[in-house]
Amino acid sequence: MTLNKFMHPRNRYKNCKPSFLELALKYPEFRAHTTQDDSGKVFLDFKNAEALKALTTCLLKEDFNLSVDLPENRLVPTLPLRLNYIHWLEDILGTDAGKWGIDIGTGASCIYPLLAATMNKWKFLATEADPENVFYATNNVKNNGLQDEIHVHQVSRDDVLIVPTNAFNQTTKFDFCMCNPPFFADHMEAQAMTKTRSVDRPEAGSVSTASPQECIAQGGEVGFIRQMIEESTVLREKIRLYTSMVGKKSSLTQLKEELRQQKIVNFTSTEFCQGKTMRWGIAWTYDQTIIFPRSMFESRKEKPPLQFVVPRGAGGVEYQVHEIAAHIRGLLESIKVHCYQGKKAKSYSSLTLTAVENTWCHQRRLRRQQRNIEEPVIYPSQDTGHSSAHVLDPSDTGHSININGKQTVGLKESVKYQDIKLNGKRTLNEPDRIPPNSKKIKVKSTGSDKIEQEEKPGIEQINEEKPPILQAELQPQPTQKNTTVEAGEILSDTSPKDYILKCVLRLKRSEEQVLLELEWLDGSSRELMHQVMTFLKNKLVQR
Ligand SMILES: C[S@@+](CC[C@H](N)C(=O)[O-])C[C@H]1O[C@@H](n2cnc3c(N)ncnc32)[C@H](O)[C@@H]1O
């Protein structure tokens, strides 16, 4: 599957693939690596490093008028990915000329500075630890007459940002830094990877071109970017925007955790899609005026949040956002759902909910037992993971219940909650709770999970446009008036790390009503968030 449709819209290769025929006719060094079939179609051998080098250098000449010389055994940059990264920076910072950036580990090609200086007239401190790469990068800058814009500096492998930045010029304030870090922690990891993928991770099917000194660093890409994060806590606003490319999605999770640990609240990530490969970008800043754009790739699958108008009198508290928020927090904490206070404003409150186990279904059982329902509907005990009566009743929620892939009714063995998968369509309200005057309504939904719900008196279903980036929910938003984030609450985030559900709960006043919203962040299944919503609804309609 090609990911080109998710390439950045301004990427010149998105809708216009390079013509190998034209390149072959114009550039003999490129032609030397091509073959032609009977119909005249031109093919390039992507398994040949020299062929890749010819493709990149000819495209740089043809499309950017850049003359670039690359040594043997050094990474050959692929252009669509490099352009995607630069366009993402433009989306965050704008395209004004004269911006100052740092390219950490510029490589022999000096690719990012050369492209960005040519496209946007941006200026660069380009650092590099490998002497041969420094030599080539310096010459590439000179050969294109860009010495006033790009300054290549040799640095020590141990230094990432603080030493090079201070050594360059104490007074320069940088608009951004960027980096394509060495990805592997050691030779073993590199070798394991190269058995299946090429070392510089070019598009699938192409050859490895990076040398060990280019692609190996202590701690791999996570270690390298972690050092960037740590050093950024010292440099802070000296660099307005910190960014790096990330090669593995699993690294992103670790790095976001690191940012949270360092109390850096304004961060985001994005996808770089090209050909058959996907890479990621991570960015963070100490400048609260920076608003990160939403990732196009992610927004394609976003679903609107679940919404519910809190009925008056819920919980017997005053019909005020913060009163209701405190009541809901109490309800959730009583079933061991971790609540982390996010943004708080006059008529707005958000909580990040993290659940390590499914405790809300247990609540439903208790309620049923209280109402003396004859048929036993007993889920395994949350405390021990065991139950004395082993009957699961699919009619409970309208779900088919699937335990470890098997359709199961009358379960004979104890199971953990986390093992229970709920499949198929569902109604959100339990049948026995439908009041007699209820009528069926369709919930408006732009996503694929259209659900039918029973309408309860005084409860309205609303779905609005998606709000801005999810990430912002965990962060203070200074651009929004009346917003005060309680630093203490952010600093004391002790959310569990192993969870089955993480979502954001928002309460906001909408005209005369208080609206409750649940928006998905992460977890094993969205179904769990629907269940939490049902739990809250049931609690909030109880008088
Ligand atoms: C994966 S390559 C990226 C090269 C180029 N930026 C690109 O995208 O094609 C990583 C580069 O970082 C360099 N490097 C490793 N540690 C470094 C450090 N501490 N400071 C600067 N460069 C470093 C390596 O020599 C290598 O050239």
| DSSP assigned state of 292 | P
Q: How far away, in angstroms, is 129 Cα from ligand 1 center?
A: 7
**Burial grade of 107 (CB within 10 A; 0-12, 13-18, 19 or more):** buried
The residue nearest atom 25 of ligand 1, judged by CA position, is 214
Q: Which ligand 1 atom is at minimum distance from the Cα of 159?
A: 19
User: Does the beta carbon of 155 sit less than 6 angstroms from any atom of ligand 1?
Assistant: yes
User: Does the beta carbon of 105 sit less than 6 angstroms from any atom of ligand 1?
Assistant: yes
Q: Which ligand 1 atom is at minimum distance from the Cα of 213?
A: 25
Q: How far away, in angstroms, is 162 Cα from ligand 1 center?
A: 16
In DSSP terms, 242 is beta-bridged to 177, 284
ipTM given for this complex: 0.99
**Burial grade of 215 (CB within 10 A; 0-12, 13-18, 19 or more):** buried
User: Does the beta carbon of 160 sit less than 6 angstroms from any atom of ligand 1?
Assistant: yes
User: Does the beta carbon of 75 sit less than 6 angstroms from any atom of ligand 1?
Assistant: yes
Q: How far away, in angstroms, is 127 Cα from ligand 1 center?
A: 8
Q: How far away, in angstroms, is 422 Cα from ligand 1 center?
A: 47
The residue nearest atom 6 of ligand 1, judged by CA position, is 106
Please report the pLDDT score of residue 328 as a whole number. Answer: 97
User: Does the beta carbon of 217 sit less than 6 angstroms from any atom of ligand 1?
Assistant: yes
Q: How far away, in angstroms, is 242 Cα from ligand 1 center?
A: 16
Cβ 69 vs Cβ 265: under 8 Å = no
Distance CA 285, CA 287 (A): 5
User: Does the beta carbon of 190 sit less than 6 angstroms from any atom of ligand 1?
Assistant: no
Please report the pLDDT score of residue 455 as a whole number. Answer: 25
Please report the pLDDT score of residue 169 as a whole number. Answer: 82
User: Does the beta carbon of 214 sit less than 6 angstroms from any atom of ligand 1?
Assistant: yes
Other beta carbons within 10 angstroms of residue 321's beta carbon come to 22
User: Does the beta carbon of 213 sit less than 6 angstroms from any atom of ligand 1?
Assistant: yes
Q: Which ligand 1 atom is at minimum distance from the Cα of 130?
A: 25
Q: Which pLDDT tens digits describe the chain residue by residue (543 residues)?
A: 578 878 999 999 998 889 999 999 999 999 999 999 999 999 998 889 999 999 999 999 999 999 999 998 899 999 999 999 999 999 999 999 999 999 999 999 999 999 999 999 999 999 999 999 999 999 999 999 999 999 999 999 999 999 999 999 878 899 999 999 998 877 777 766 655 443 344 444 566 677 877 888 888 999 999 999 999 999 999 999 999 999 999 999 999 999 999 999 999 999 999 888 899 999 999 999 999 998 877 766 667 899 999 999 998 999 999 999 999 999 999 999 999 999 899 999 999 999 999 999 876 666 676 665 544 433 333 332 333 222 222 222 223 233 333 333 333 223 222 222 333 333 223 322 333 333 333 333 333 322 222 222 222 222 222 332 222 222 223 333 222 222 222 334 567 777 889 899 999 998 899 999 999 887 777 889 999 999 999 999 976
The residue nearest atom 11 of ligand 1, judged by CA position, is 105
Distance CA 337, CA 334 (A): 7
180 is in an annotated binding site: yes
* Amino acid occupying residue 513: Q
User: Does the beta carbon of 109 sit less than 6 angstroms from any atom of ligand 1?
Assistant: yes
Q: How far away, in angstroms, is 250 Cα from ligand 1 center?
A: 21
82 is in an annotated binding site: yes
Q: How far away, in angstroms, is 214 Cα from ligand 1 center?
A: 6
Q: How far away, in angstroms, is 104 Cα from ligand 1 center?
A: 6
Helix (H, G, I), strand (E, B) or coil at 74: coil
- Half-sphere exposure (CA, 13 Å, Cβ side) for 394? 17
Q: How far away, in angstroms, is 61 Cα from ligand 1 center?
A: 23
CA–CA distance from 149 to each of 93, 161, 219, 240, 277 (Å)?
18, 19, 32, 19, 31
Distance CA 480, CA 344 (A): 11
**Burial grade of 183 (CB within 10 A; 0-12, 13-18, 19 or more):** buried
Angle, CA of 448, 452 and 454, to the nearest 5°: 150
The residue nearest atom 8 of ligand 1, judged by CA position, is 180
Please report the pLDDT score of residue 78 as a whole number. Answer: 94
Distance CA 273, CA 80 (A): 9
In degrees and rounded to multiples of 5, residue 412 shows phi and psi of -100, -15
